């Protein structure tokens, strides 16, 4: 499906003098969880925001609420992702920020997890991130300073659960890609940062019926961070002075 951008939004008034006033930000995974929380926080901070996710109805409802641009697409589809990024850049008059928050988790033991779940995990968490980032880089490089913020996980550095090995491997890839990209685009004044939270109350397991998903979903609800706390840190990274790069921000709740 070709993404159709809504008309260029009016900058939300509550944050017009906020820390991100004048910024043009694309957020993936914007229909729920960390992506939605980040979109809300960025709009409140004065940014003009484009929202990318597969859930078109949710996306357009949120875009209307925030005065944002909706560019529905599946990040796994390289052509659709490219078209969505182009639509966002056109609607906003360019891009100087990208938050890659789209992600999936399919928990289970490595010995028994299906190849289709492995494939989906890497397709969304790694390939999808690459598709959007690659399409956005020319726009970011053309800006007077820009940011890429990749939402990874503390699992990318250490496997926190024996049933999250495949997910952790995908997030380790996000860490490595982020470090490589940071070195590649530094001369273009594009900062690259990783946000690595522990469990977050996103409901990422709610549509799954495996025992592992039920256990991990319960743990997330019990001890997970509020996604708004993660969004706050993302805004801090985006608003940092130009001579500061937050290479990696790890965060968790006290009970984890």
Q: Which helix (H) or strand (E) holds 147?
A: strand 146-151
Tell me whether residue 139 is one of the annotated catalytic residues. Answer: no
The answer to whether 152 and 171 are in contact (CB under 8 A) is yes
Q: Which of 167, 201, 217, 231 is catalytic?
A: 167
- Bridge-based pairing of strands 48-52 and 69-70 is parallel
Kindly provide the b/e burial profile for residues 42-70, where b requires at least 16 CB atoms within 10 angstroms of the residue's own CB.
bbbbbbbbbbbbbebebbbebbeebbbbb
Q: 148 has which bridge partners? A: 98, 192
Determine the angle formed by the axes of helices 78-92 and 129-142, rounding to 10 degrees: 30
Torsion angle defined by CA atoms of residues 50, 208, 234 and 229, in that order, rounded to the nearest 10 degrees: 120
In whole angstroms, what is the distance from residue 88 CA to residue 26 CA?
Answer: 7
* CB-CB contact of 45 with 17 (8 Å): no
| Closest CA relative to residue 151, chosen from 23, 245, 28, 24 | 28
| Structure token pair of residue 241 | 């002075």
Query: Which are the catalytic amino acids?
Result: 167
């Amino acid at each position: 499906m070709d993404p159709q951008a809504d008309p260029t939004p009016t900058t939300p008034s509550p944050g017009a003098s906020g820390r991100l006033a004048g910024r043009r930000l694309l957020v993936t995974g914007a229909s729920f969880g960390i992506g939605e929380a980040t979109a809300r926080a960025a709009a409140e901070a004065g940014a003009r925001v484009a929202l990318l996710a597969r859930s078109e109805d949710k996306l357009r409802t949120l875009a209307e609420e925030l005065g944002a641009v909706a560019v529905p697409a599946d990040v796994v589809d390289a052509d659709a992702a490219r078209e969505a990024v182009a639509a966002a850049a056109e609607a906003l008059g360019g891009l100087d920020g990208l938050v890659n928050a789209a992600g999936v988790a399919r928990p289970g033991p490595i010995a028994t997890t299906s190849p289709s779940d492995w494939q989906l995990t890497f397709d969304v968490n790694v390939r999808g991130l690459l598709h959007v980032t690659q399409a956005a880089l020319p726009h970011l490089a053309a800006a007077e300073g820009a940011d890429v913020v990749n939402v990874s996980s503390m699992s990318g550095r250490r496997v926190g659960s024996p049933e999250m090995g495949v997910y952790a491997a995908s997030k380790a890839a996000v860490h490595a890609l982020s470090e490589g990209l940071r070195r590649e685009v530094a001369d273009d004044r594009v900062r690259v940062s990783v946000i690595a939270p522990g469990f977050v109350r996103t409901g990422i397991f709610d549509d799954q019926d495996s025992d592992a998903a039920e256990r991990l979903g319960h743990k997330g609800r019990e001890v997970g961070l509020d996604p708004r706390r993660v969004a706050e840190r993302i805004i801090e990274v985006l608003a940092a002075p130009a001579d500061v790069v937050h290479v990696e921000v790890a965060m968790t709740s006290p009970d984890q």
